[in-house]
């Protein structure tokens, strides 16, 4: 079983993914973009040009291809496992559209292929406006370090517009017949976090019996 956590920058994917994996004793595959980029070389708005280390070189194709290939390999290695995966092909397709603005058909195909060996569920962590992203970046400096922006207001507005893409995610879920749970995760605090976790656990429980058994 594969639970894909998707949503904007600062939506809580890493935090909730880590907590879920501990509660369920499942694997947690964190966001590949964060794993593969060189955090020591990140520059403002570098994410629009590739891995984040430059605004002068066009590395979009090579970077998105690297992420795509690595994600497909990680899918293959997870066959037979139950896991929580952050961003995954769903979120990667939104990043691809942000940088490239092109067709995302290959991400659909990758998800469909993984459905042959795993039940896939999507959990979309949402919030109402980019102002929440701005506030969280002020509250958690590590978010700014992971994704430096040249202009906070414009940068956060653009990220919110492209990464909280209901049309993309809903069409993907409908075409591939993937159950999708939408959660308002715009409130901070332990009580709000526990509420989100309970919703996700109930959603998983409903579909858990559909797990694919590999002979």
pTM (two decimals): 0.94
pLDDT for residue 213: 59
What does the angle CA 142 – CA 135 – CA 13 come to, to the nearest 5 degrees? 55
Give the model confidence (pLDDT) of 64-117 as tens digits. Answer: 999 999 999 999 999 999 999 999 999 999 999 999 988 899 999 999 999 999
CA distance 164 to 87: 12
Give the model confidence (pLDDT) of 136-167 as tens digits. Answer: 999 999 999 999 999 999 999 999 999 998 99
By 3-state DSSP, what share of the chain in percent is helix, strand and coil, each rounded to 5? 55, 10, 30
> How sure is the predictor about 211, in pLDDT bands with cuts at 50, 70 and 90?
confident
Check if the beta carbon of residue 18 is closer than 8 Å to that of residue 175: no
Q: Which domains does the chain have, with CATH numbers?
A: 2-208 (3.40.50.300)
> How sure is the predictor about 212, in pLDDT bands with cuts at 50, 70 and 90?
low
* Backbone phi and psi for residue 27, each to the nearest 5 degrees, phi listed first: -70, 150
């Amino acid at each position: 079983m594969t639970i894909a956590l998707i949503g904007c920058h600062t939506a809580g994917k890493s935090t909730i993914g880590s907590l879920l994996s501990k509660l369920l004793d499942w694997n947690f595959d964190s966001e590949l973009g964060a794993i593969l980029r060189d955090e020591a070389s990140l520059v403002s708005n570098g994410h629009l040009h590739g891995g984040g280390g430059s605004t002068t070189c066009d590395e979009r194709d090579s970077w998105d291809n690297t992420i795509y290939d690595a994600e497909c390999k990680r899918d293959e290695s997870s066959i037979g496992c139950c896991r929580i995966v952050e961003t995954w092909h769903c979120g990667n397709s939104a990043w691809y559209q942000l940088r490239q603005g092109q067709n995302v058909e290959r991400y659909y195909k990758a998800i469909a292929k993984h459905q042959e060996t795993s039940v896939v569920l999507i959990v979309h962590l949402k919030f109402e406006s980019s102002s929440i992203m701005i506030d969280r970046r002020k509250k958690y400096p590590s978010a700014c370090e992971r994704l430096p922006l040249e202009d906070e207001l414009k940068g956060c507005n653009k990220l919110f517009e492209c990464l909280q893409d209901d049309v993309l995610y809903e069409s993907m879920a409908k075409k591939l017949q993937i159950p999708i749970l939408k959660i308002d995760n715009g409130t901070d605090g332990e009580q709000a976090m526990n509420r989100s976790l309970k919703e996700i656990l109930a959603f998983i429980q409903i579909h858990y019996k559909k797990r694919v058994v590999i002979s």
